Amino acid sequence: MVRMLITIAGWDPTGGAGALLDLRVFERLGRTGRGVLTAVTAQSATAVAGVWPVPAAAVTAQFERLSEGLEIGGIKVGMLATAANLRAVARLLGRMEGRPRVVDPILRSSSGAALLEKKAWPRLLDAFAGRAELLTPNLGEAAVLAGCRVRDAAGMKEAAARIFARSGVACLVKGGHLEGRPADVLFDGRDYAEFSHPREARSVHGTGCFLSSAILCYLAEGRPLKEACGLAVFRVGQAIRAALPAGQGRWIFDLSRERGRTPLPPRA
């Protein structure tokens, strides 16, 4: 039976982020995907105009019906919208021990809209404690989750270590918004790894969704965490360079423009 990847995420009608992008990334990297919706958003390429959460009972029911008769190869969690959805999804992940689970702890959109209600922010690490293989906060999310300033590589290491200490889950802090040459920092509970990448001149919507979906694909292939993160960082860079302008200085992924590109760097 084909092992499906599942994204549990929100709906961005532009397809630049959320479940629609996740499913395209899965397919682009050779995997079959299915989706559980947590919220509907209304948005343009530049701003989120509204968020309508899906009730937690509907999130759970989607997942339960979907997983009947399905071989699940891994799960990615994105936007959750509500504290009730956070609880429900954490419970579902708790039943998926042994399968790769990647949680992108999305708190806000880049335009500042809350994509998880604020009262749930302090509960996120507890909810996913021991129930995922990786958390992928950006600098702002890492600062909120770890409760410390995250302004440079040392701050990223500190935040990743605190997040691991509180959740028992490995943490990749994304440094895309750092000054200078950006790097992402991984802490797996024992060792740190840094993945530096060129500064991309383009501000592409959904970069975090792309990255976490790609990491899940590589984990589902059986690659170790560090290798999966490195390959995904590389792959996001490729996709950014094939993105389309979306107006007002923003760009949007267009995976159709990538056809024929090498999906992976040569194996070392």
Q: Which residues bind ligand PXL (CB under 6 A)?
A: 9-12, 17-18, 41, 43, 48, 78-79, 106, 109, 115, 206, 208-209
CB of 140 to ligand PXL, least distance (A): 12
Helix axis angle, 56-67 to 83-94, nearest 10°: 20
Cβ proximity to ligand PXL: between 12 and 188 the closer is 12
Cβ proximity to ligand PXL: between 48 and 150 the closer is 48
Please give the full DSSP string across 110-164, using - where no structure is assigned. Answer: TTS-BSB-GGGGGGHHHHHTTS-SEE--BHHHHHHHHTS---SHHHHHHHHHHHH
Q: Are 207 and 170 in contact (CB under 8 A)?
A: no
CB of 58 to ligand PXL, least distance (A): 16
Cβ proximity to ligand PXL: between 11 and 164 the closer is 11
Q: How far apart are CA 204 and CA 92, in angstroms?
A: 31
Cβ proximity to ligand PXL: between 6 and 209 the closer is 209
Cβ proximity to ligand PXL: between 39 and 159 the closer is 39
Cβ proximity to ligand PXL: between 43 and 82 the closer is 43
CB of 81 to ligand PXL, least distance (A): 9
Please, is 203 exposed, middle or buried when counting C-beta atoms within 10 Å of its C-beta (0-12, 13-18, 19+)?
middle
CB of 195 to ligand PXL, least distance (A): 20
What lies within 8 Å, CB to CB, of 190 at 6+ separation is none
Q: How far apart are CA 154 and CA 183, in angstroms?
A: 12
Q: How far apart are CA 219 and CA 227, in angstroms?
A: 9
Q: Are 138 and 78 in contact (CB under 8 A)?
A: no
CB of 63 to ligand PXL, least distance (A): 17
Neighbours of 251 (CB within 10 A): 22
